[in-house]
Amino acid sequence: MDIKQDVFDEIGIDISDFNKQTVEDLRGELFWKHAFYTNKGSKKWPGLIFLPFISLQASIGTSNKIDYNKPFSVSSGNNGHSSVGFTTGIILDFVETIEIGTTLGYTNFFKRDISDMRVPTNQFQSAIYPFTTSTSVNPGSNYFFEGHLSAYHFLDKLSAWVQYVYTHHDRDTIQLQQTDSAFDTTT
């Protein structure tokens, strides 16, 4: 391992430390919510606030992109991929007792071409790939579900919050721009 720097220099990989400050992607959101108050003034039923909401989001991949010649490079955004998505949900707030809520969301990322991306040439390679090629990268979509239950001061000075969040990311797709049997994109 004494000659590791010579090997990295030969294949064009920079493993030196780096620190970089950069901005994130440009993001925008349209958001709507409205509180519907029911049972107001009822002596039989507690007050209930029904709060539906929906938001539409979009981002433009303006942040720095991963430098594939620096294995420890990180993007501060979506690595140049723009996206669109939505979030919707409902909150039921039983006034001065409990709140129950649920949220669903979806984000789609758009494909982009990357020149000189390091790609494995064998299924057993990992982390360090000596060769580059031009690719089209299509990130998988994100889905999420959130449910929560909370009680504010249900006992004097004691509140509780329970939340469950499930997130799923579909598999990313990497395709070579020009067919070359030397590269293996199945991993």
Q: In whole angstroms, give the CA distance from residue 115 to residue 159.
A: 53
- Tell me the whole-structure pTM to 2 decimals: 0.80
Each residue's pLDDT tens digit, 127-172: 788 888 999 999 999 999 999 999 987 778 888 999 999 999 999 9
Residue found by looking up tokens 């509140």 in the block: 159
Looking at per-residue pLDDT, the higher value among 19 and 106 belongs to 106
Q: In whole angstroms, give the CA distance from residue 22 to residue 71.
A: 18
- State residue 9 phi and psi, 5-degree precision: -65, -40
> Stretch 17-33: mean pLDDT, rounded?
89
Q: What's the confidence (pLDDT) of residue 32?
A: 98
Q: Tell me which residue of 158, 141, 142 sits closest to 150, measured CA to CA.
A: 158
Looking at per-residue pLDDT, the higher value among 114 and 183 belongs to 114
Averaged pLDDT of the chain: 89
Tell me the β-bridge partners of 58.
28, 84
CB atoms within 10 A of CB 89: 19
Each residue's pLDDT tens digit, 111-137: 999 998 988 888 888 878 888 899 999
Spatial contact of 134 and 176, defined as CB atoms under 8 Å apart: yes
